[in-house]
Structure 1
């Protein structure tokens, strides 16, 4: 029991340290974006705010602040609207796991990117001759899920689990069976990564 408490304590301390780092780095990136905006360096401001949004931790205030700044800029500065919406999209996709934080912002960003990109006849010549065709083309491409396949991720996680179980079996149980499970786990993990 005492050993389990020590392990739990170490894990919680590690997670706490990681959480503190995420918040500190996120606030630093947000401040860098704010400084750049005050100096009129809007491209650097967008990069800073996007970085802050990517330092995601549930309920961390810097994340929502970063999204708010990007969305406000996209609505108020036409020259930087496309870049700001792309930063919103990028941050939302980069921070998704089993769910997508700021999924509504991602959908809005996709719609705005398609709209803004459709106005540029040179932006995607293959998209079509008029704005409506270009908007449909961009909308369809932005709707695609760029993430890994769920089956591949499942197989990779299952493979890692089998690999860890095999190592445990080698250490504590029948070594031959543990070695076989370890090898099968690694193979499953590699296949999962390949198809993900």
Structure 2
């Protein structure tokens, strides 16, 4: 685990991220808050590309909680069969859809606690929805962000909650809204797990990772 970088270094890192891509976008396709919740829930232990392929036809017929209930679990399974853990995920999607219809009038709540109470929705999923749909500066820490935060010193921590707190505590406020998107994209495409592409890294000179590649 690298040491926590100082404020000025972190500001420079995120200035570079912003200059490279001012409005980073999440890669999960969705059409409303509900389909975003479903897409993020389905993405656990799956790739965004795989989820997008499965949900392309699903969201054409079930883009609201009630439509998902009308579709039924068996039909849902046929749409998402290519996604890992699809049976358990299908059960959770049906359960959360019923809760949204019966307790929230079919509307996705905009509080973290309410979102986390839904089956299959954990803290990371809740933070993604809060950030992408309601533009709250919530930090959704996945494996890519956890790796980048610890390697670079941007946000070191022993677990995802510690990394989330480090992001909130050390990244300047004006970068908070897009912080997790910049970090996830950098971790996914540059600071990859097995052989990071340090030669193509725009923050190479600021990163504390000791085993940089050429």
TM-score interval, smaller chain: under 0.3
Q: Which has the higher contact order (CA 8 A, sep 6+)?
A: 2
Normalising by structure 1, report the TM-score: 0.27
Larger Rg: 1
Normalising by structure 2, report the TM-score: 0.25
